[in-house]
Amino acid sequence: MKTRYVMLHDENRCIGCQACSVACRSVNQVPETVSRLQVHIEGPFGATPNLHFKYPRISCQQCENPPCVTVCPTGASYIGKEDGIVSIKQKLCVGCMYCLAACPYKVRFINPVHKGADKCNFCKETRLKEGKQPACVSICPTGALMFGDANNPESEVAKILDTIATHRNKTHLGTRPKLYVVPTKKGRISL
């Protein structure tokens, strides 16, 4: 069975510390003016003393039906045959920005250093290549992120997806995103 890498972001465990974003920037040499990953801090909601926040992750959704790949005129944007990861071949990218316009999640950007399109690729060329978890997953102090092969029933992420309610953003567009979210509930974090 083909590998199907997915990411799970549990908004109830996330504390908005931004360690994931800092680790991503460091490992993938992302310039300071752009970002492959952000965690927005929304709130507070409610009334004192029962305030709560939301921490949505803003990054590539790793779509199984990615519009960014479809519109790429050079083949720079592609889906990896072995891993299913949506990536960019920088040598083929001409910086036309079609992929930026096509992305319904608005997470692609032009890298100011190499002038080509850029985005999260689950650390495919860095950590995954070394057999490690993506930088954001490894650094998360609360275990809010999980990564793995959803097609492997023995993987931790597959087991979690089978037992907990999640949602995926903008599924009505037919993109079939592989970033699953455990939505925020009011109350405390339970680790």
Whether pTM > 0.85 for this model: the answer is yes
pLDDT in tens, 132-167: 999 999 999 999 999 999 999 999 999 999 999 999
The tens digit of pLDDT for each residue in 51-109 reads 889 999 999 999 999 999 999 999 999 999 999 999 999 999 999 999 999 999 999 99
Q: Classify strands 145-149 and 109-110 as parallel, antiparallel or unpaired.
A: unpaired
CATH 3.30.9.10 fits 5-63+119-182, yes or no: no
Task: Name the pLDDT band for 49 (thresholds 50, 70, 90).
Answer: confident
- By residue count, the chain amounts to 191
**Confidence category of residue 127, pLDDT binned at 50, 70, 90:** very high
Q: What is the pLDDT of residues 177-187, one digit of tens each?
A: 999 999 987 65
Sign, CA torsion 63/65/67/73: positive
Task: Specify whether the CB–CB gap between 8 and 149 falls below 8 A.
Answer: no
Radius of gyration of the chain (CA): 17
Confidence of residue 50 (pLDDT cuts 50, 70, 90): confident
Find all residues with CB under 8 Å of 52, minimum gap 6, and list them: 43, 44, 45, 46, 184, 186, 187
| Kind of pairing between the strands at 179-182 and 5-10 | parallel
- Residue 19 has a pLDDT of 98
Domain ranges of the chain: 5-63+119-182
* Residue 1 in this model has a pLDDT that exceeds 60: yes
- How many other CB atoms sit within 10 Å of the CB of residue 153? 10
- Any bridge partners for residue 167, and if so which? 181
